[in-house]
Every structure is written in C-alpha cells, then in structure tokens.
Chain A
Amino acid sequence: MNCGEGIDTRLIEELFINLDPIQAGGRLSADAMKAVLAYGDGYSVCDNCEKPFRLDCIKKPPLARFHDELAKFLNMDIARLVPGARRGFQAVADTVVGKGDPVLLTAFSHYTEFLSVEQAGGVPHEVPANDANIITADAVASRIEEVTRSAGKTPALLYVEEVDYQYGNLHPVQDIARVAHQYDIPVLCNGAYTIGIMPVDGKDIGADFLVGSGHKSMAAPAPSGVLATTSEWADTLFRTTQVKGDITGRTFGVKEVEMMGCTLMGVTSMGMMASFPHVRERVKQYDQHLSRCNRIVDALCSIEGTQVMSEYPRKHPLTRMNTTGSFDKAAKTNKKKGFFLISALRERGITGIIAGSTKVWKFNPYGITEEQARYVADMFLEIAREEGLPVKSG
C-alpha cells in the first residue's frame, strides 16, 4: 500500500512491537497523529502570527503557552523549540565556546555534541567512563584539572549525558554539575533520552542548559527538540538580532540569533504540543515502564550465556545485551546464521533489533504495554528453547 508514488506506507508500529533503541520514545500519541493530519501544511502555525512575529509568542495555536509549560515541566526558566537536540547543542556551543577553547565532553557524548564543538572552533576533551560505564564526578574533576593545566584555561563548557546512548546508563549529573560549577564551567545536560521519558528537574540537577529531543523521547515528529536554560543565561543564549542592512536599513525585530528566528513552524511543533499532555503523564508512570523493561531483561538473562551489559536493575529502558554465549552460539548452526534472531522475532511480530546481530545488541521497550512486555519476554524464551539453548527456570 503506497502513500505516495513509490512510497510504501509504514506499518511497523501497527503490526509489530518495535524495540528499536532510538525509536521507542518518539512514537506519536494518537493526538499527535491528529495534529499531524491537521497541521501538515508548511507554515501551518502561522495563520494567527501577530507582533512580535516569533514562534514562541503565537497564541493561536497556543504555542506561547506551550513554551511556558515546557520550561515549567523541566524546571528551567525559559524554553525554546529546536529542530532536534543537535540544534540545541549547536546554539549553546556557538554562544559559549570561542575559538581554541577547551570543551569537556564524555566518553558517551553523541557525535553531534562533538560537531557542535568543532563548528564553534572549540577543542574537545573527553571524560572517561569507569569500569561500570558510568561517568563520575571524580573523573570530571580530574579531567578539568588536566585540561586546565594543558590548555592554560578552564573548559568553556561541559557536556554531560543524563542517560547515554550506548548503555542507557543513568549518570550522576547533579554531582557532575556541582563539580563543574566549582570551576565556573557551565553545564549542558543532554536529556535526549530522558526528557519526555522520565522526570527531569533541570535546576535540581544543576543544568545551565538542558536539551531534549522531541522525536527521540517526546512522542513528536522529527526533527524536534527543546532547549531550556536559566534566567542567568537566557539573554545571552536567546539574544536578539542587532544587525542592520547597510543599503535598506532593515532590522529584524526580536528574532533570536541562535534560533535563526522561528524554528518549528508547522507539523513538528504541533505534534510535539499535542503529545505534551501524554508525555507529562507518562513520565509519572516511569516505574511501570522500567518494570516492563526489567521483566524482559530478566527473561533474557535466564537464557544461559546471556548478560546485560547496562547497569542492572535497569534505571532506563534503553538496554545493551551480550548474547555471545547464547544466541550467537545458535547462529553458528542455524541456516540463517546471524539473521536467525531478527527473523525469529519478526515471525512473532517483534522488530527493531539490528538485523544480523547476535552478539552485542541494544533494545528499548519504552512505551509498550504490560501484555506486550510479557509477550516479548515469552518470545525470547521460546526462540531460545527452539534453538536448544538452556533456559534457567524461575
């Protein structure tokens, strides 16, 4: 079934339980689907744009209120919509990082965090993870000392991921921010995997800048995200244009330089806003989502030779597994080789694990129901038994 010439209709979410590690939190709510239908046209939110002509000031649809509510939701002073978390990193780096400035990132920083430093002319330095794949405040303190000695100045910015994309581990951002602030280093907390998934309190964790992803974790269309900051940084980060055309004399009102004026002018902001009430509710039920994840992890770990590589019990549903001693052994004798696992899962209506992976792979069951979690756990065990892998009873 096509939805346009040569464009297949995507039915993945309707036909399968999708465990894709980056797709789970971005699945649209039914209200977001409705908003997408009604606001799909290009500049659809601009029908009632009035002075001062800026996205965050539009009252109908209620984008101005949405911006205020987003800031409150994150316990920050001000928030802006951005086209993906990466554009938030870019705006912050461009504001606080100068040419040649050292910048601290972590062993788990996303490539777009690095690119934002590169674009601003900064020099990236990584904070290593410990043996448990956690970034500690002590490691941050050591790196600040080392980098300050070698660069001759303190880092201009510290990026820290609240939950990382490799292990889905929860890092002690509050402790890390406290250390950074002792050296007067502003902290950008990357909440791409947490904002919209679990409760996040920006001021409590000490974030100067808080960045989230709409399409990764806020049940919104791509590209969407949020950039929030404190009143201390608001005027700098969201500074308005001062430029003037030298022939025409034109000026550009209150457009914000780092936002390039307006950001999400249609379906993305509307999808994000329509999902927001659901997102606000679902973070309150985070424990239920975690318990569903732990149910699946427990089932997997009952298959002999299987290990969970992420911290356990899970504090976030994005999880890295090692099945070298179980499913990978089965792959050696199965005629489908490494593709047997995804094939067996798809036959059972489950998808989202990288095709061909039977050693180390990630999954994310966020947002599935209790019944679906039970089903996924049962199906992993069924596949293991079918392959003759020993399963511990329990």
Chain B
Amino acid sequence: MSRRAAEAVFQGLFLLSDIRGILRETAPLHQLSAEQKANTAKSLEKLEKQISILREELVS
C-alpha cells in the first residue's frame, strides 16, 4: 500500500482544481492578475512535487 502515492494523486488533483477555479474566474480572456499568476505558479510548483512523489512511489 502506498498511502503517499494515493495522497499525491489527490493533492495533484486538488491543485489542478484550484487552477480550474482560476480559469473560471478569468474566462474568457484568461488574463490573470499578478496575484492570480503568483497563485497559479505556486500551484504548479506544488503539482510538480506531487508528480515527483508519484514517480518515486510507483515507477522508479
């Protein structure tokens, strides 16, 4: 059982949901404010971390 991998999947999906929220708030032009850009960048950074965990846990 890899609880770490399961949590990384959900953490990743949740981070993507936050980005989905930003897409909705900024539709249709998707011109993000400075704050929205910073939040999205932070989400992407965290998402990369979750992907690394999944690589470690499941495919390495």
Contacts and interface: CB of A to CB of B under 8 A. Distances in A.
A14 B13 contact: no
B28 A17 contact: yes
Nearest to B23: A14
A30 B23 contact: no
Interface string B16-57: 011011011111110000000000000000000000000000
A153 interface: no
A13 B24 contact: yes
Contacts of A293: none
A29 B29 CA distance: 20
A38 B10 contact: yes
Contact of A16 (B10, B13, B28): B28
Contact of A14 (B10, B14, B18, B27): B27
User: Which 10 A-B pairs rank lowest in CB-CB distance, beginning with the nearest?
Assistant: A349-B28, A30-B21, A33-B17, A14-B23, A34-B14, A30-B17, A37-B13, A13-B24, A34-B17, A30-B18
A38 B13 CA distance: 9
Nearest to A29: B21
A15 interface: yes
Nearest to B17: A33
Nearest to A31: B17
A333 to B, nearest CB: 27
Contacts of A15: 23, 27-28
Interface string A1-36: 000000000000111110000000001011001100
A35 B18 CA distance: 12
B27 A17 contact: yes
A261 to B, nearest CB: 30
B13 A349 contact: no
A348 B27 CA distance: 10
Nearest to B33: A371
Given A13-B24, A14-B24, A37 B29 contact: no
B20 A30 contact: yes
A113 to B, nearest CB: 32
B13 A34 contact: yes
Contacts of B21: 29-30, 33
Given A34-B14, A37-B14, A38-B10, A14 B29 contact: no
21 contacts: A13-B24, A13-B27, A14-B20, A14-B23, A14-B27, A15-B27, A16-B28, A27-B24, A30-B18, A30-B20, A33-B17, A33-B21, A37-B10, A37-B13, A37-B14, A38-B10, A349-B27, A349-B28, A349-B29, A372-B27, A375-B29
Contacts of B26: 369, 371
Nearest to A33: B17
A16 B22 CA distance: 13
A197 interface: no
Contacts of A349: 27-29
A348 B20 contact: no
Contacts of B28: 15-17, 348-350
A37 B21 CA distance: 14
Nearest to A13: B24
Nearest to B24: A13
Contacts of B13: 34, 37
Given A34-B13, A37-B10, A16 B27 contact: yes
Contacts of B14: 34, 37
A350 B29 CA distance: 11
Contacts of B27: 13-17, 349, 372
Contacts of B10: 37-38
A34 B17 CA distance: 7
B43 to A, nearest CB: 11
Nearest to B14: A34
B26 to A, nearest CB: 8
